[in-house]
Amino acid sequence: MDWIKIGSAVLMGAMLIYLFPRAKQTIENSPKGTMKEWMGFILPMAAVVLFIILLIALV
């Protein structure tokens, strides 16, 4: 292994160690969505997935 790969691996590990506690705290303190808000997200995503499946089927 050359030094660039080793350095990249060390920096990635340090980044994960630094970001994990902050991400955990953010998840614990984030506002919870209501069912109406989740449906507003899920319905458009489902429409996109179905559209992509339709495009694949047409090919």
Q: Which domain holds residue 30?
A: 3-58
Compute the residue count for the chain: 59
| pLDDT, position 1 | 72
**Measured CA distances, 41 to 4, 11, 21, 29, 37 (Å):** 41, 35, 27, 21, 7
| pLDDT, position 46 | 97
Q: Is the pLDDT of residue 8 over 90?
A: yes
| pLDDT, position 47 | 97
- pTM, two decimal places: 0.52
Of the ranges 1-15, 28-42, 43-57, the best mean pLDDT one: 43-57
Q: What is the pLDDT of residues 11-43, one digit of tens each?
A: 999 999 999 999 999 999 988 889 999 999 999
Tally of domains within the chain: 1
